Amino acid sequence: MKRLLSYETIIEGLLFVVGDEGMEVRALAETLDISEAAAREQLSKLEISFNKSNRPFQLMESAGVYKLVTIPDVAPYIQKYVGTMAEQALSRAAMETLVIIAYKQPVTRADIEEIRGVKVERVIHTLLSKGLIESAGRAKTIGRAKLYRTTEHFLDHFGFNSLEELPPLTFEDELTDEGDLFFGQESSKQEERLEKD
C-alpha cells in the first residue's frame, strides 16, 4: 500500500536532498504542483513543527532560498566530527575533484561532473567539510548553479603560497597522472604531521 505523505514531509525530504543549494518557493511550488502562497504556508508549518520538536534541524531562509540547517546546540559535535575528518587522507576521487576545482575555479558541480564523468555531490561535501573548498557565489546562467573555489586552507594544506604556484596541468590529459602530484603533497603533509606528533 502506497504511503500518503504530507506536504511538510515532502518539503523536508526535498530540502534534505538539495542540501546547501536550497530551494526557492517557486521551485517548491512547481515540484508540489501547488501555488507559491500554499508553498509558503507549508514552509511556515514545517518551521513551526521544527521549533516545537526536539529535532536537530531548523528552517533557514536567505535571499528567497530555503534550506535545512542544524541547530546551534549540535555545532560542537559537528565541529568535533569535522576536525576528525580533516585528519583523514583524501580519496583519489576527492583529489581528482579538488584538482579540477583548483585549476578551473570558480566552477560548478555540473562542470566538474562533466570532466570527471561521475557524480561528485558527496565528494564536494567532503571537501567542504574539510575546509579545502568553499562557495564562490552562483553562476550567472539559467539555474544559477553554485560555484566552488579553493580556500586558504587548501594552499596551506598542500604547501602553496598562492594559486600561481600550482604546477602546469593540461585538462586534455588524464587527471590521474597529474593528480599524483597532489597525492605526493598530501603524503608529505601527513608525514610532517606524524613527525611532529
Confidence of residue 179 (pLDDT cuts 50, 70, 90): very low
pLDDT band at 14 (very low <50, low <70, confident <90, very high): very high
Higher pLDDT, 185 or 141: 141
- How many CB atoms neighbour CB 118 within 10 A? 11
50 Cβ contact list (under 8 Å, min separation 6)? 57, 58, 59
Spatial distance between the Cα atoms of 76 and 158, rounded to a whole number of angstroms: 27
Cis peptide before 106 (omega within 30 of 0): yes
The pLDDT tens digits for 50-99 are: 888 888 888 888 878 899 888 888 878 877 766 665 556 678 888 889 99
The C-alpha R_g of the chain, in whole angstroms, comes to 20
CA atoms within 13 A on the CB side of 155: 9
The Cα 2–Cα 109 span in angstroms is 34
The Cα 4–Cα 156 span in angstroms is 51
Q: Given this model, what pLDDT does residue 191 score?
A: 42
pLDDT of residue 38: 93
How far from the centroid of its chain's Cα atoms is residue 18's Cα?
10
> Is 71:84 a contact under the CB 8 Å cutoff?
no
Residue 137 is which amino acid? G
